[in-house]
Amino acid sequence: MLDVITATQRVAPSRWSPSRLFKSLFFHQTVFLAVTLLVWEVLGAYVFDPFWSSRPSLIAERLVFLAKRGDLTWHMSATLTEAGLGLALGSVVGVSLGLLMARYTRAARITEPLFMGLYSLPRVALAPLFILWFGIGLPAKVMMSFSMVVFVFVLNVLEGVRALDRDPIDLMRTMGASNRYIIRRVLLPAVLTWIMASFRISVGLALIGALVGELIGSSRGLGWYIERSAGQLDTTGVFTGIIILIAIAMVANNIVALVSNRLTRWRA
Amino acid sequence: MPPVLAKLSIEHLCVAFNDEMPAIGDVSLQVADGEFVAIVGPSGCGKSTLLKVVAGLQAARSGTVKVARAAPSDPEPKIGFMFQRDTLLPWATVTSNISVGCELSGLPKEKHAERIASLISLVRLQGYENHYPAALSGGMRQRVSLARLLAFEPDIYLMDEPFGALDYQTKIVMGRELLRIWEASRRSIVFVTHDIEEAVALADRVIVMGARPGRIVASHDVVFERPRDPRSLRGDPRFGALVQTIWSELAIAD
């Protein structure tokens, strides 16, 4: 039998099709993930030695085991605290430094070579120094995380101030606006979008900082767990740590994207 | 009879950006209280520069610019500027953008909402109070700009090609709207444009400027009765004659 689609029928469903589309996209993503895991499972069981690639079932088992023993929260909370504090400190210092550099251009020019040198330096190279200075506890990892993200904020805020639209400021000046008023009404809202962009970039970098710190010297955290598992040739442990990190990074990215979208709703 | 009080008084103004030919050489202009003056001229004749000097955005080499205060108690004359670009804050809603004018006017905070509401209906933006500029058309954005300017309640309005970026139809509509609003308050306006018809349709007086150096070439009183409808005015033979005259003056000035 042949279906005859009339014009009205073709137009009408468009009202609810976006949500249907999303659902079907979500459905396809789920199927893709399931197939990937299945292939991995089969390959790990029958083709490769599980020693090299582990298997989703073993990882799931390990996750439950770690959760039950409290190890999961123990390590996760350590890594999250390090990255979170590093990100918080980096954003506060970075935004302040960026605003200062935008305000005092002469001082900014003088310090620029040192600043660009530090920015170009692969920050991982600082890890041994931080361990030496701050020990293998929390402060070294926070500093590692901080050093990864602080430049992102400085450079973005600087760029945000430089890209400021002069016309509204001129207009407000003719209307007798004070500096404080212009900062509150123009500068801060304009820079806010650049700060939110910095957060989106920095979430991943903060985690890298914490992880690098943990890999080099620590007694807890996901980096430590991965490192220790590898040392014991425990591939399942390594993969479990990686899977947890992927989950953390995805959730954190989504939270930042959500907040960022809410704060910059005016971008039609 | 006392002389008509000048709202804006420019005497022998000279502006130069560096040591070259002055951008404006010896311009004197009086704008009476409640007068609508349009300035036309070729690009580079310094008509925009003239407004910037009055607004304090550009320094003069010599000469004086005086804007009369509304009341002797006012500390500074309030100058309202409108650009060709809308210069709205993209992160602020229509209401919030208009409130900039209220905030800088010194109006007590509790009266802001009332003034904003009345201005929104005056510029016919009801229903768009919480829209962001990005969601508005060019004409609507200039309505918001105009409302922000009105909220500030300036002593004098300086408008630098305010409708220059709009399409022809919207430009005509906005001109009519401006006249309607102006009729109600009758504040002095200096309106810079390159559109001669727009100048004649709107203003009490049209000043023609020439370039190199920027100077006043001619001044015409526009005698059409108020209130006017700029659209029907365009069919009037006197309108066409005046436009023709100004055209020929511009050709000479160039």
DSSP notation for A248-261 = HHHHHHHHHHHHHH
The verdict on a CB contact (< 8 Å) between B89 and A168 is: yes
Domain count of chain A?
2
The verdict on a CB contact (< 8 Å) between B55 and A174 is: yes
For residue B190, pLDDT beyond 90:
yes
Same structural domain, A99 and A172 = yes
Same structural domain, A75 and A36 = no
Same structural domain, A39 and A166 = no
**Mean per-residue pLDDT over chain A, rounded:** 89
Per-residue pLDDT tens over the stretch B115-127: 999 999 988 899 9
Same structural domain, A121 and A15 = no
Same structural domain, A243 and A135 = yes
- Look at residue B57 and tell me if it is in a domain: yes
- Residue range B133-157: mean pLDDT, rounded: 92
For residue A122, pLDDT beyond 70:
yes
Same structural domain, B126 and B175 = no
Contacts for A183 with CB less than 8 Å, ≥ 6 apart: none
Q: What is the pLDDT of residue A152?
A: 94
Same structural domain, B20 and B133 = no
For B167, the domain range is 6-78+154-253
For residue A103, pLDDT beyond 80:
yes
The span from the CA of B217 to the CA of B61, in Å, is 21
Does the interface predicted TM-score (ipTM) exceed 0.90? no
Distances (CA, A) of B67 to A105, B76, B142, B154, B159: 36, 9, 25, 11, 15
Same structural domain, A95 and A37 = no
The verdict on a CB contact (< 8 Å) between B79 and A175 is: yes
- Look at residue B1 and tell me if it is in a domain: no
For A30, the domain range is 7-47
Substitution target in A185, A260, A264 with the highest count of B β-carbons within 10 Å is A185
Same structural domain, B56 and B149 = no
Domain count of chain B?
2
Substitution target in A188, A195, A266, A267 with the highest count of B β-carbons within 10 Å is A266
Same structural domain, A176 and A126 = yes
Per-residue pLDDT tens over the stretch A37-87: 999 999 988 888 878 889 999 999 999 999 999 999 999 999 999 999 999
Same structural domain, B64 and B162 = yes
CATH code of A222's domain: 1.10.3720.10
- Whether the CB of A266 is below 8 Å from some CB of chain B: the reply is yes
Residue B189 near residue B220 (C-beta atoms within 8 A)? no
Please tell me which residue of chain A has the smallest CA distance to B153. Answer: A175
Same structural domain, A41 and A149 = no
- Look at residue A2 and tell me if it is in a domain: no
Same structural domain, A129 and A247 = yes
Per-residue pLDDT tens over the stretch B31-77: 999 999 999 998 888 888 899 999 888 888 888 888 887 766 667 78
Q: What is the pLDDT of residue B2?
A: 44
Same structural domain, A15 and A131 = no
**Mean per-residue pLDDT over chain B, rounded:** 88
Instruction: Please say which residue of B129, B153, B177 terminates a domain.
Output: B153
Please tell me which residue of chain A has the smallest CA distance to B159. Answer: A171
pLDDT band at A16 (very low <50, low <70, confident <90, very high): low
Q: What is the pLDDT of residue B75?
A: 72
Same structural domain, B68 and B168 = yes
Same structural domain, A163 and A129 = yes
pLDDT band at A19 (very low <50, low <70, confident <90, very high): low
- Whether the CB of A268 is below 8 Å from some CB of chain B: the reply is yes
- Look at residue A1 and tell me if it is in a domain: no
Q: What is the pLDDT of residue A7?
A: 47
For residue A14, pLDDT beyond 60:
no
Same structural domain, A216 and A129 = yes
- Identify the burial level of B125 via C-beta atoms within 10 angstroms of its C-beta, where 0-12 means exposed, 13-18 middle and 19 or more buried: buried
Name which of B146, B153, B148 is nearest B176 in CA terms.
B146
